[in-house]
Amino acid sequence: MNRLLSLLTVSLFAFSLAYGGDVKRKGTAGAQEVLIPVGARGIATGGALFPSLSGAEAIYYNPAGLSVGSRSEVMFSQMSYIADINVSYVAVSANFEDFGALGLSFKTLSFGDIPVTTVEHPDGDGTTYSPGTYVVGLTYSRTLTDRVSAGFTTKVVYESIMGTAATGLAIDFGVQYRFTGGLSIGASLKNVGTDMKYSGADLQTKTDVPDASLGSTQGVYSPETESFQIPSYFELGVNYLHTFNPENQVLLGTTFRNNNNLQDELMFGLEYKMMNVLALRSGYEMLVKNTSESVYGLNLGAGVEYKFENGMGFSFDYAFRSVKDFPTDNHIFTVKIGL
């Protein structure tokens, strides 16, 4: 069994490397909500610490980390994104000793109420609408050996605008490997899935049928919409944990992301834990080429964690993410409760 699991792990690395170089998909993807990160700890460190993330926060970055650790978790995260858009995220995980870990996650974007405009009422007809964007995922992860863990997430991506909607399915794969001496590596392949295509009643149009007899009813037709792909990418990261003493440690990491629809990226992250209670974090995101065009840059954050005598834990994290070309930066708040 261990040989089989090791073979599957190696196969995932090989498949990830092969798939990540598909340049034909660049500039053709939609469903950009799957690229919006979640969790203050992961965002504050630029996503560079995904080889070491564990518990519910690992679901988005690397599902392999869900089974690392023995406790179950509930996670709530809120982000003030760009253009007055808010991103809400909820995740629940349960860790079973012999089976592995299961996780359920839900992400949604809130756009507020948008006035409905028509040809007759270009300034609004008095009604409003709000687009719906949801990503729901089910994750399974298992620690294969004392050093290797692997996992995957199956998720549904849904977008709607009034009476028009598109749905897609996608899968994330992830692997974490922990060496002795504080070194760890991770790989993940994200958003491998089906194409999406809009359809619905709002696309239908009534029109007269050519050559129809006098008094006949109008016909209804729907235009053929163009399908689009879900943006996928491959990540490979390296982390190093240095322990000063049992209560103070620093975690450093760097991650390379090969995007299929954007330029490739590099992320750097740092986390310093003091007294096993307070954590200070920083990260940086940059494009490999055309660095000056990077939308995001410096990230900062902090968090506090407290463990009760009965084994329960509580943590509160905050992250700041600088954004170019928009009037407001990103602010992220996350609460995690360990059971």
24 band by pLDDT with thresholds 50, 70 and 90 = low
In this prediction, residues 171-182 reach a mean pLDDT of: 92
Between CA 199 and CA 204 the distance in angstroms is 9
Which backbone phi and psi does 136 adopt, to 5 degrees? -115, 130
The C-alpha atoms of residue 306 and residue 315 are separated, in whole angstroms, by: 6
CA distance 262 to 28: 10
Q: Pinpoint the alpha helices (H) of 58-170.
A: 58-61
Cα(219)–Cα(150) distance, integer angstroms: 54
Per-residue pLDDT reduced to its tens digit, 275-331: 889 999 999 999 988 888 888 989 999 999 998 878 788 999 999 999 988 888 999
For residue 163, name the pLDDT band (cuts at 50, 70, 90): confident
CATH code for residues 2-338? 2.40.160.40
Q: Which of 170, 190, 216, 239 is nearest to 63 (CA)?
A: 190
Domain range summary for the chain, segments of one domain joined by +: 2-338
71 pLDDT band, cuts 50/70/90, is confident
CB 300 within 8 A of CB 285: no
* Cβ neighbours for 123, distance < 8 A, ≥ 6 positions apart: 115, 117
Question: What is the maximum alpha-carbon separation in the chain?
Answer: 89
For the four alpha carbons of 270, 145, 21 and 38, in that order, the dihedral sign comes to negative
The residue with greater pLDDT, 276 or 250, is 250
Q: According to the model, what pLDDT value does residue 26 have?
A: 62
Residue 3: pLDDT band with limits 50, 70, 90: low
Residue 213 gets which letter from DSSP?
Answer: P
End-to-end, the C-alpha distance of the chain in Å comes to: 30
What pLDDT sits at residue 21? 45
What the block records as the tokens of 212 is 């129809």
Q: Exposure string (b/e) for 47-58, b if CB count within 10 Å is 16 or more?
A: bbbbbbbbbbbb
- In this structure, what is the dihedral angle of CA atoms 322, 43, 111, 188, given to the nearest 10 degrees? 130
Q: Is the pLDDT of residue 236 over 80?
A: yes
Residue 141 has pLDDT above 50, yes or no: yes
